[in-house]
């Protein structure tokens, strides 16, 4: 038997629990006495020459949308002297100011006798929410935080670049569907209509939730338009709807997240996707001279999932001079869709840069698929490019096998940081008709089958294409001696590249033609 340890109890001695009860007030009194004692010894200087040192002499909010709150920024006010000081702090613009401040943990517009010990500092936090600027052009709002130390005045400048925008907020959704608003296909009374809506390049468009182009309606986006999507949202082209994003080489269209601060420039997964459902022949969805960045999935084109047995969409997705990069899952995810892509870059995605699944028909020409994903040390095991004729039918809980109709891949680079960046994985249960020509492929998969690779001399395996700077995500060709130079297949009717630069008689492989 294991005996408990002996206990010693002297008459009049309280138990440990009782001792806690008795001693806690005593300890509090001791701590309070110590605190009061310290206060008596604290010395404040009234020297008029005392100044504070600031970690920043100005705080800049670089383009925020009106009515939308900014990120919180902070700076430090430091007392470099040996003695404590009392400081008055005030927001110069007062209550009407679009800026809000928090001084050492307290919110307000003015603060009296803020104490800073010798050699110590305080934090000042700043936010901004701008009202409408009354102009389509960006505007600047300024204010100051004023500091008075023993009659000595100092200030920190606050500046915010504001931008009015068209805002779309969700008013429907649920039941398995994301929250959304109808941006084309509904009148002011909520009645379903067929319409064409044009977004002119007057000011940015900001989408919360999903902005939906409904059946039989079309959204046309003019050159130069910038579309910003709030976290968790996207642009949804519903069944038999249509989008035409028609940029120009010198006036491109942009799709990205709505955080415009420099630290968000390359953060992936800031919004969800451009989601395109099936449609009829001739209802092609077009993206020309567009940049899509930092989504979960850049473009996801597929039959609407509630109809998994539907035939491959007759409507096409057309990509011309498009870049899709920095997506946390995939750049292009296709299921049972027809895709035509020319002079397009798919770069640096967390799983696949291009994933073609289920049935489909593909015409890819002058394409660069480059995946050197390196975000916070995350490891990517998926190949940059994958094509399969199967897809997971979540409604029926089965794996479906579909036909890949006559498809062509020409003048394509598939490159990345992994040993195998190119994978074709087909189920023999359905037909697959496709060919690759003049392609540079990073792969350990065999490419000696002359049916899909009819010209063995124009399939180059595991060659460095000669990108300018992989670390800087610059996938132009770096020199006239780059391997991809003059390796292209001419006669395809493509006379320029993604930048709009002319291709010569012996074009280069990939989306960029080398230019000295």
Q: How do the domains of the chain map onto residue ranges? A: 53-162, 167-477
Flag whether pLDDT at 16 surpasses 90. Answer: no
Give the pLDDT mean for 109-113: 95
3-state helix, strand, coil in the chain (%, to 5): 5, 45, 45
70 or 401, higher pLDDT: 401
- Highest CATH level, class, for 53-162: mainly beta
> Shortest CA distance to 302 belongs to which of 345, 239, 255, 256?
239
**For residue range 34-58, what is the model confidence (pLDDT) as tens digits?**
333 444 467 899 998 899 999 999 9
- Cβ atoms of residues 412 and 435 within 8 Å: no
Beta pairing, strands 85-91 & 110-116: antiparallel
CA atoms of 329 and 346, how far apart (whole Å): 12
Q: Is the pLDDT of residue 84 over 80?
A: yes
Cα–Cα distance for residue pair 81/294, rounded to 1 Å? 47
Which pLDDT score, from 0 to 100, does residue 68 have?
A: 81
Q: How far is CA 382 from CA 160, 347, 422, in A?
A: 42, 14, 9
State the pLDDT confidence band at 136, using cuts at 50, 70 and 90: low
Tell me what the mean pLDDT of segment 502-511 comes to: 96
Q: What is the pLDDT of residue 213?
A: 97
**Rounded average pLDDT over 305-328:** 95
pLDDT in tens, 376-389: 777 899 999 999 99
Residue 223: the pLDDT is 98
Overall size of the chain counted in residues: 516
Q: pLDDT band for 32, please (50, 70, 90 cuts).
A: very low
Q: Residue 153 and residue 144: Cα distance in Å, rounded? A: 12
pLDDT at 154 over 90: yes
Q: Is the pLDDT of residue 25 over 50?
A: no
Calculate mean pLDDT across residues 405-428. 96
Whole-model pTM above 0.85? Answer: no
Compute the mean pLDDT over every residue in the chain, rounded to the nearest whole number. 89
């Amino acid at each position: 038997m294991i005996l408990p340890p002996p206990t010693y109890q002297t008459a009049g001695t309280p138990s440990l629990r009782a001792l806690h009860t008795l001693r806690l007030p005593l300890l509090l009194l001791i701590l309070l006495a110590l605190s009061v004692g310290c206060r008596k010894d604290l010395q404040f200087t009234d020297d008029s020459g005392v100044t504070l040192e600031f970690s920043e002499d100005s705080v800049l909010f670089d383009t925020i949308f009106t009515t939308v709150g900014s990120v919180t920024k902070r700076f430090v006010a430091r007392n470099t002297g040996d003695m404590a000081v009392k400081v008055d702090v005030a927001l110069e613009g007062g209550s009407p100011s679009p800026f809000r401040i928090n001084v050492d943990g307290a919110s307000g517009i003015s603060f009296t006798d803020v104490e800073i010990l010798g050699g110590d500092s305080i934090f000042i936090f700043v936010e901004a929410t701008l009202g409408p600027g009354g102009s389509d052009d960006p505007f600047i709002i300024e204010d100051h935080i004023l500091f008075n130390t023993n009659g000595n005045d100092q200030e920190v400048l606050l500046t915010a670049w504001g931008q009015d925008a068209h805002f779309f907020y969700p008013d429907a959704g649920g039941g398995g569907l994301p929250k959304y608003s109808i941006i084309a296909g509904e009148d002011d009374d909520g009645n379903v209509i067929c319409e064409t809506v044009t977004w002119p390049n007057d000011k940015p468009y900001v989408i919360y939730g999903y902005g939906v182009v409904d059946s039989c309606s079309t959204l046309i986006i003019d050159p130069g338009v910038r579309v910003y999507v709030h976290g968790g949202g996207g642009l949804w082209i519903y069944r038999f709807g249509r989008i035409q994003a028609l940029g120009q080489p010198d006036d491109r269209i942009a799709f990205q997240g709505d955080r415009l601060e420099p630290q968000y420039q390359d953060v992936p997964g800031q919004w969800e996707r451009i989601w395109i459902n099936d449609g009829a022949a001739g209802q092609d969805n077009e993206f020309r001279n567009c940049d899509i960045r930092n989504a979960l999935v850049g473009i996801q084109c597929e039959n609407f999932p509630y109809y998994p047995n539907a035939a491959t969409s007759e409507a096409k997705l057309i990509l011309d001079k498009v870049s899709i990069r920095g997506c946390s899952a995939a750049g292009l995810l296709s299921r049972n869709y027809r895709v035509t892509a020319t002079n397009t870059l798919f770069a640096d995605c967390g799983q696949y840069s291009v994933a073609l699944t289920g049935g489909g028909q593909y015409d890819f020409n002058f394409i660069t698929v480059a995946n050197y994903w390196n975000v916070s040390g995350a490891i990517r095991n998926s190949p940059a490019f994958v094509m399969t004729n199967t897809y997971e039918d979540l409604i029926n809980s089965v794996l479906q096998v579909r036909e890949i109709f006559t498809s062509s891949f020409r003048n394509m680079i598939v490159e990345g940081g992994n040993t195998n960046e190119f994978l074709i994985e087909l189920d023999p249960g359905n037909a697959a008709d496709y060919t690759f020509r003049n392609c540079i492929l990073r792969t350990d998969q065999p490419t000696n089958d002359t049916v899909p690779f009819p010209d063995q001399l124009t399939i180059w395996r595991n060659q460095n294409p000669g990108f300018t700077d992989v670390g800087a995500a610059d996938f132009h060709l770096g020199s006239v001696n780059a391997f991809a130079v003059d390796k292209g297949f001419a006669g395809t009717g493509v006379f320029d590249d993604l930048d709009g630069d002319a291709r010569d008689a012996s074009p280069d492989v990939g989306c960029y033609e080398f230019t000295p």
